Structure 1
Amino acid sequence: MLEQLKCLQTHIEVLKTRLGHLDSENQSLLKDKASSEQQSAAQIMQKNSIITQKQDQIEELTESLAKLKAQHQQLNHDATALAERYSRLEKSCTDLKNRFQEILAERNSLRTLKEQLLHEQQQAQRQIAELQQDRERLAQKNDQAKNKVEAIIQRLAILGTEQDHHAQEIQQLAHPTESHEEV
């Protein structure tokens, strides 16, 4: 019995030491649990603040997305308007190009006509100069002919007066009585 008692005492001692170990283990586990709880509470708070920040970012991004969608829609509308305007400008450009080609063709035909008219003008001026020379030459010939005719008329007049004078003398000789009557 004593042995059993000793055995029991040793068992009790062992149990006490085990109980002390378990108690200290329990205390350390409680401390670990408390620190884990504190850490997890801190992590939860940190995660909650991160979640709040992320939610704020999501709200900001949602607002930004709505603005960007509105801008995108406006840009699409502007792009459509610009495309229509560009096609009108392209058509106008084509029309202007065609009109420019027509103007160039008209200009070339006008140049040709101008050169032709200048050539005709030069020919007409040459003809006018030739006609003026002919007129001057004919005027000189006319003056010469006129002078010759006048000279001939003067000679004839002189001859005529001499003949008249001779004729009168002949008449006086032929009719001497008539000449006294006239005197």
Structure 2
Amino acid sequence: MLEQLQRLQTHIGVLKTRIEKTEKENVALLKEKANSEEQTHTQILHKNGIITQKQDEIESLTEQLSQLQKQFNQLNTDAKSLAERYGRLEKSCTDLKTRFQEILTERNELRVMKEKLQAEQRQSHQEIKELNNERERLIQKNDHAKTKVEAIIQRLAILGTEQDHHAQEIQQLAHPAETNEEV
């Protein structure tokens, strides 16, 4: 029995040492657990801060995306509007080119007509000059004939013959307006 007691005491001593060792390990593990929990809590807070920051960035980027989409839609609308205006301007340009060609054609026709009218005008002026010259020539010829007739009448009047009567008739023929006034 003594032997058993001694064995028991030895076992108890060994158990006490193990318990002390286990308690020390337990305390160390508790400290480690506390440190670990504290580090984990710190990491969680840090990660939560990063998550909050990233969520703020996501919200900011979402707002920017929304604004950029609105701008994109507005630019698309503006592009369509400009494309329509460009189409209308292009059509107007084509119409203007056509009208310009028509005006050039009209201008060329008017130039030809102007040159033709100028040629006719020159010809008419030439004809007027010729007619004026002819008129002057006829007036001179008429004056010359009138002078001859008057000379003949004067000669007949000087002769004082019976032909005086004929002279009056000739004078009436030469100056019919004077005769009508006397009557």
TM-score, normalising length from structure 2? 0.71
| 1:66 aligned onto 2:87 | no
CA drift of 1:54 comes to 2.1
Aligned counterpart, 2:147: 161
Q: How do 1:59-138 residues align onto structure 2 when only pairs under 5 Å count?
A: 59-138=45-124
**Structure 1 CA distance, aligned partners of 2:150 and 2:20?**
180
**Structure 2 CA distance, aligned partners of 1:85 and 1:114?**
41
Aligned counterpart, 1:52: 38
**Structure 1 CA distance, aligned partners of 2:115 and 2:24?**
125
**Structure 1 CA distance, aligned partners of 2:22 and 2:111?**
121
Q: How do 1:145-160 residues align onto structure 2 when only pairs under 5 Å count?
A: 145-160=131-146
Per-residue CA deviations over 1:42-91 (Å, capped at 9, x if unaligned) read 45434433332221121121122123223323332332333233223212
**Structure 1 CA distance, aligned partners of 2:140 and 2:25?**
158
Give the unaligned 5+ runs of structure 2. 162-183
Aligned counterpart, 2:165: none
Give the unaligned 5+ runs of structure 1. 1-11, 176-183
**Structure 2 CA distance, aligned partners of 1:33 and 1:41?**
12
Per-residue CA deviations over 1:99-122 (Å, capped at 9, x if unaligned) read 110111011011100110111011
* Structure number with larger C-alpha Rg: 1
Corresponding residue pairs, total? 162
**Structure 1 CA distance, aligned partners of 2:144 and 2:98?**
67
TM-score, normalising length from structure 1? 0.71
Structure number with higher relative contact order (C-alpha < 8 Å, ≥ 6 residues apart): 2
CA drift of 1:136 comes to 0.9
Look up the equivalent residue of 1:148 and give its one-letter code: E
**Structure 2 CA distance, aligned partners of 1:38 and 1:47?**
14
Aligned counterpart, 1:139: 125
